[in-house]
Amino acid sequence: MFDLPELPFTYDALEPAMSARTLRFHHDKHHAGYVKTLNEQLAAVGQVPRSLETVILYASKTSNPKLFNNAAQVWNHAFFWLAMSAKRERPSGALAKAIESEFGDLAKLKKAFVEAGVGHFGSGWVWLTAGHNSRLQVRSTHDADDTLTHAGMTPLLVCDLWEHAYYLDYQNDRKGFLEAWFDALPNWQFAARQFEASQGRGEPWRHPQPRPDAKLSKAS
C-alpha cells in the first residue's frame, strides 16, 4: 500500500504563486484520490509491488490504462511537490552551465517552458529533463504520462498542467500560472541533484516504497 506523501512545505508557503486553498485541494483531494484508487487497484490483484516505478512500467507495457494513470499520477504529484520550494532560488553549478549552453540563459529556458505548457492541449505535465549527454530538454506529456516510460530521460523539474493545479488561483490563465510558477517555485537544488544523477553521479529520485508490512485491503 502506498502512502500519500506529506507536502515538504506548509500549505501557505508557496503563496502568492500557489495558494494554500489550491494546495489543500490539490494534495488532500486530487493526489490523495489517485493514491486511494491505486491502492484499491493493487488490492484487487492482491500483490504488494516492489516499487511504484515497477507498477508504472508494468502497466505501461501491459496496456493497463487505469492502473497506469493512477500509478503515474501518484508518482508525478510526489515529484511535483519536491520540484517546488518556498525559497526563491536560481540554478547554480553544473546545471546552471547546462542551462546556459542549451538555452542561452534562464529567461530563455523560462520562455521555452511556458510556451510548452501553454501550447500543450488539455491536461498533462511540462518537464525539464536531462539526457545522459548533459543535454536539457523541455517537453510536455499528456494526462498521466511521465518520463519513466521514455528511456534515457531524467526529470529535473515538472509543473502540473491540469486545471486543478491553477484554476482556483488563475482561472483560465495557464500562461500567468506558468510564469509565476517558473519565477517563484522551482526547487533548483532538487533539480541539480536530478541533473547530477542523469550524468551518473548519484541516483535519481524514486517514489517512497510501499509499506511492506501493510496488508493490502480494499478498505484503504
CB of 191 to Fe ion, least distance (A): 19
**181 belongs to the binding site for Fe ion (CB under 5 A):** no
**H-type helices in 83-155, by residue range?**
93-103, 106-119
Alpha-carbon span 101 to 98, nearest angstrom: 5
- Rounded to the nearest 10 degrees, what angle do helices 188-198 and 93-103 cross at? 80
- Decide whether 75 or 190 has the Cβ nearer to Fe ion: 75
> In this structure, what C-alpha cell is assigned to residue 94?
553544473
Measured from each CB, the residue nearest to Fe ion is 160
**160 belongs to the binding site for Fe ion (CB under 5 A):** yes
Closest C-alpha among 81, 79, 68, 92 to residue 7? 81
**145 belongs to the binding site for Fe ion (CB under 5 A):** no
Residue the block writes with cell 498542467: 161
- Decide whether 159 or 192 has the Cβ nearer to Fe ion: 159
Which helix (H) or strand (E) segment holds residue 90: the answer is none
The stretch near Fe ion (CB under 5 A) out of 106-114, 153-161, 184-192, 197-205 is 153-161
Provide the mask over 104-143, with x wherever binding to Fe ion is found by CB under 5 A and - wherever it is not: ----------------------------------------
**103 belongs to the binding site for Fe ion (CB under 5 A):** no
